[in-house]
Amino acid sequence: MAKLSTFTTATTTPTFDKLKQFIDLDRQVLRFSAVWDDRNNMFGEMRPYTLHYYRVDDTIEVREQRQPNDGHDPFPVLIGRKKVPKARSNIPSNFPSAVMEISEHEITDWLTEKDLRVGETVVIMDRPFFLYDCDSFTQSFYQQMYGLSFSRVPVELGERKVEVKREIPPYNGFGSPQDSKQNCLSLIAQPPKKDVMKMLENDLKILRYAAVMESPNPEDKNRKFIISYSLAKDEMQIYEPHQRNAGIIEGKFLEYSQVRKPGSSIDNPEYYTPADFAIGATIEVFSRKFKIVDCDLYVLKYLEANGARFPAATIESIRAIHADKL
């Protein structure tokens, strides 16, 4: 029987030593400052990121640069540390489309430190990142290894601000114009601010006038009213007193409110003031006309004490009916 020949095997030492690479390149991280310009999409903006390239295993990590009150959820890591392919969609045609993940068997071309340079755009996971700066270690590394010198590229971070003119919408008829305007000035509805000093100085100061309704209806000709004007709130109230056999129940005709003059603009209204309540004058309140026929003596005293604020004709008309009392 022939003697079987013996086979000898030899193991070839690999030229690439992972241990040596780990010892030499561990903790050597290239750090770049980058921006992702997503402003072409709806609600997109310029987002700042920090790109780390780990030389020990040629992996890349992308972290978001958090800004206080930027309105984004606190997710600091956009892309975890991994090897990044240059063209993720460039895979063999025989690769099954049902497979979601791709491995090193399908991709042979990966991003390396030679592909990262300040002033250039690198595509990572279909997102374009523009590298505009790097740290001192990265600067010295590229200077020694590749003879490249980088300088910071000025980049304007933030959204594309569009100058938006704030316009107050027109008054819609609900509430008062002050309420509607105040609701447009703040996100949470706030009541209009009041002049506290004016309210304290004019507290309980009421100007009372007697008026009759001017109406083509015969039953309204004899109706009498008392108009009370509050100096603290600049509002007027109309009250109808009791009259025997009038057939109309007494009560409030108008609650305290500001009454806009007819013909004034809704957006910039003009309200009735004591200057308009001359004896014989007619005011229109919500399509109802009232003629001023009398007033208290206190009205004359107040108007004379503040004569610079009121027309002389109004003061003279009131002084005429109180001539016998002076």
Spatial CB neighbours of 62, under 8 Å, sequence gap ≥ 6: 34, 49, 50, 51, 52, 77, 78, 79, 124, 129
Percent of the chain with pLDDT over 70: 87
The two tokens of residue 324 are: 């016998």
- Asked if 33 and 53 count as a contact pair (C-beta separation under 8 A), the reply is no
Residue 107 tokens read as 């991709």
User: Which residues neighbour 299 within 8 Å (Cβ) at sequence distance 6 or greater?
Assistant: 207, 208, 209, 274, 277, 318
Residue 27 is predicted with a pLDDT of 83
- Cα gap 211→276, rounded to integer Å: 13
**Mean residue pLDDT across the chain:** 84
2-14 pLDDT per residue, tens: 555 555 655 655 5
Q: Can you give the pLDDT at residue 182?
A: 82
Of the two residues 175 and 280, the one the predictor is more confident about is 280
- 260 to 148, 264, 277: CA distances (angstroms): 75, 7, 14
Q: In which band, very low, low, confident or very high, does the pLDDT at 129 lie, cut at 50, 70 and 90? A: very high
pLDDT of residue 323: 81
Distance CA 133, CA 117 (A): 9
Whether the CB-CB separation of 131 and 34 falls below 8 Å is answered with: yes
78-117 per-position pLDDT tens digit: 888 988 888 766 666 666 666 656 666 667 788 889 999 9
**94-108, 228-242, 288-302, 303-317: the lowest-pLDDT one:** 94-108
Give the rounded distance of the alpha carbon of 51 from its chain centre: 32
Per-residue model confidence (pLDDT) at position 45: 81
Q: Please, which pLDDT band fits residue 67 given cuts at 50, 70 and 90?
A: confident
Here the tokens at position 205 are 């100061």
Selected residue with higher pLDDT from 17 and 181: 181
Amino acid identity at 169:
P
Cβ–Cβ < 8 Å for 235, 313: no
In terms of C-beta distances under 8 Å and separation of at least 24 residues, what long-range contacts does 16-19 make, across chains too? Answer: none
Contact 62, 49 (CB under 8 A): yes
pLDDT-wise least confident of 139-143, 145-149, 179-183: 179-183
CA distances from 91 to 60, 96, 108, 122, 136 (A): 20, 10, 9, 19, 37
